[in-house]
Structure 1
Amino acid sequence: MSHLILHHYPSSPFSEKIRAVLGYKQLAWKSVIIPSVMPKPDVVALTGGYRKTPILQVGSDIYCDSALICDVLEHEQPEPMLYPPHIKGVARVFAQWADSTLFWAAMAYNLQPKGAALLFAKLPAEAAQVFAADRRAMSGGMRRDRPEDATAAYRSYLRRIAHMVEEHDFLFGAAPCLADFAAYHPLWFTRQCVPLMSDIFTATPAVLEWMDRMADMGHGRMEPFTAHSAIAVAAGSDPLPLVGDVFQDEHGIPLGSQVTVAAESFGTEPTEGELIAATRTRYSLRRTDPRAGTVHVHFPRIGYVLRACL
């Protein structure tokens, strides 16, 4: 596989999930720091519209969503495993809960006024307004928990995680799995990005000990890289060949159709391209950009909507 290029920014929780996986697997990777808010012209040159963070680039293949990125990294380096066979199903189900229900409770708690004030304390006064407007645009009609409701839920979830890591070092045993990385990143944001809010961990010291074990794995072998260089890599590469059964039809949309793929809820900006694969687990689109050339953009099926262009 070509060099792994991660497009991310330091305070992105889902980026920390992937950085931690890279550390666990001790992988070498190139780091492209991207804006936290729109516009993101270099990201969109690669994705065609998708703007959430992070994205993983391998040559001219672009992988969207941290769930799919974890699958790609597991294929790149199978050991140590994210999906041990005896807990593969439960790890995926737990991770899906952590990336949604736990994440949104944690962020509603983290970004209540005193947390948000701390996050933007060292930035220009308008930075908080720009960030809030950007996230409102991404949220659309999503229902958000009130801070008091989110706080109660977050405390309950932390107690449940504590019960798991009091029994052994990680959520499901002596070694971490996908579930650990999915649960870790929203808690990491509380502790590292809005530390004023981290008193919520006082009642669950076992959670802090588990988080220390996660942090000790580091972020792998990172090398700074520029967005210009990443786009040049895409333009100078051919996408990887598609292998195996590339079409499982659930929509009546044949391969070769012009389609859009978009997230179901948060960050619903669509990517348009030619449908070249709809496997059991992912969609793949071929698209051409004036700067990046021909790229294949990949999305997980779960959490994404495929539509034919009219």
Structure 2
Amino acid sequence: MNDLILHHYASSPFSEKLRLILGYKKLPWKSVLVPAILPKPDVVALTGGYRRTPVLQVGADIYCDTALICDVLEHVRPEPTLHPPHLKGVCRIFAQWADTTLFWAAMGYNLQPRGAAHIFAKAPPEAAKAFAEDRKAMSTNMVRLRPGDATSAYRSYLRRIANMADEHDFLFGMEPCVADFAAYHGIWYTRNQVPVLADILNATPSVGEWAQRVEAIGHGAMTRLTSADAIAIAAANDPQPPGANLLVDSAFQDDHGIPLGTRVTITPETFGSEPTEGELIAATRTHYSLRRQDARAGLVHVHFPRLGYVLRAAA
């Protein structure tokens, strides 16, 4: 197997989710640090347009969205599992809720003016403005909670998580599963990136104790890699054919009347709506795969989860 290359940045919540999963599975990985905002020319060279963080690269195969990347890492190293057999459905559904509803409530709270002021306290004024404009552009297709509404929702969700953390070391038992890592990353941002707002956690001490247990898992064995080297690795490798990559399902599921071999676009439903265009080479129960050519990265296959993404024939 080629090296696992994670394109991420330090303060990215979804990157923290994957860094911990890599640590939990004791998978060695290579770290490519990417910008938090556009332009991201080296990221786009690999993805063809998708610019959310993080992205996982394995040779010339590019995996987008942490939901899909979790499945990839589970296939690479099945134990310890992210999806305990007796909890497989409920932990996936909980993780999907945590990655969306819980996450946006947490970030609506975290990025209120006092939190943003703390984050950018040592940065020039134009940095805060550029970040705000970048995230506004990424949010054109979604309704964002106002700080007051986000605070109310976040408090309620923390109490519900506390009900679970009161019972076990982790949310569904004595060992972590994908639900823990998905629920953790927005709370991690509160604890570690905006500690001036972390008093919201005081009412639910069991959440703090649970978060400490998740944090203690660590990030595992990481080595640095430049983005130029990552692109060179993609160019030097051939992508794996559909059905032979790290995504185990391969049967074609046609829900759109779009045959394989068609030129298509794939776009996130909500946040970060930049499309990726390429030739559709897989459309399975769980994922889409596109074949595309880049001047620097060469021939790459870019993979997306089916849930949360829109498939269209290219104009």
Interval of TM-score (by shorter of Structure 1 and Structure 2): over 0.9
Deviation by residue 1:275-308 (Cα, 9 ceiling, x = unmatched): 0000110000000000000000000000000000
The question of 1:191 aligning with 2:196 is answered no
2:267 aligns to what? 262
Number of residues of Structure 1 aligned to a counterpart in Structure 2: 310
Q: How does 1:213-232 map to 2 (within 5 A)?
A: 213-232=213-232
Match of 1:132 in 2: 132
Residue 31 of structure 1 corresponds to which residue in structure 2? 31
Question: Which residue type is aligned with residue 71 of structure 1?
Answer: D
The alpha-carbon deviation at position 98 of structure 1 amounts to: 0.3
Q: Distance in 2 between matches of 1:234 and 1:109?
A: 39
User: Aligned residue for 2:299?
Assistant: 294
CA distance in 2, matches of 1:309, 1:228: 30
Alignment of 1:2-151 (within 5 A): 2-151=2-151
What secondary structure sits across from 2:56 in the alignment? Answer: strand
Alignment correspondent of 1:284:
289
Give the aligned partner of residue 205 of structure 1.
Answer: 205
Residue by residue, what CA displacement relative to the aligned partner does 1:6-35 show, whole Å, maximum 9, x if unpaired?
000000000000001011111100000000
> Hey, what's the Cα distance between the residues in 2 that align with 1:102 and 1:181?
12
What letter matches 1:56 in structure 2? Answer: L
Q: Give, in angstroms, the shift of residue 146 of structure 1.
A: 1.3
Alpha-carbon shift at residue 141 of structure 1 (Å): 3.6
Report the equivalent of 2:246: none
* CA-to-aligned-CA distance 1:215-270 (integer Å, 9 cap, x gap): 11100100010000000000000111222534110000000000000100100100
Normalising by structure 2, we get a TM-score of: 0.97
Take 1:66 and 1:309, find their aligned partners in 2: how far apart are those partners?
A: 25
The residue that corresponds to 1:252 in the other structure is: 257
1:178 corresponding residue in structure 2: 178
Q: Deviations over 1:108-166 (max 9, x none)?
A: 00000000000111111110000000000000042111111111110110010011011
Structure 1 vs Structure 2: percent identity of aligned residues? 69
Could you tell me which residue of structure 2 aligns to residue 275 of structure 1? Answer: 280
- The one-letter code matched in structure 1 to 2:24 is Y
Structure 2: distance between partners of 1:245 and 1:70: 17
| Other-structure match for 2:312 | 307
Q: What secondary structure is seen at the aligned counterpart in 2 of 1:35?
A: coil
Native 8 Å contact 2:105 2:154 kept in 1 = yes
CA distance in 2, matches of 1:146, 1:274: 39
Q: Measure how far apart 1:213 and its partner are.
A: 0.4
TM-superposition CA deviations, 1:65-84 (whole Å, max 9, x none): 00001000000100000001
For 2:109, the aligned partner's letter is Y
TM-score by length of 1: 0.99
AA partner of residue 281 (structure 1)? T
**Cα-Cα RMSD:** 0.7
- Poorly superposed stretches of 4+, deviation over 3 Å: none
Instruction: Look up the SS of the partner of 1:171 in the other structure.
Output: coil
- Shift in Å, 1:95: 0.4
Amino acid at match of 2:295: P
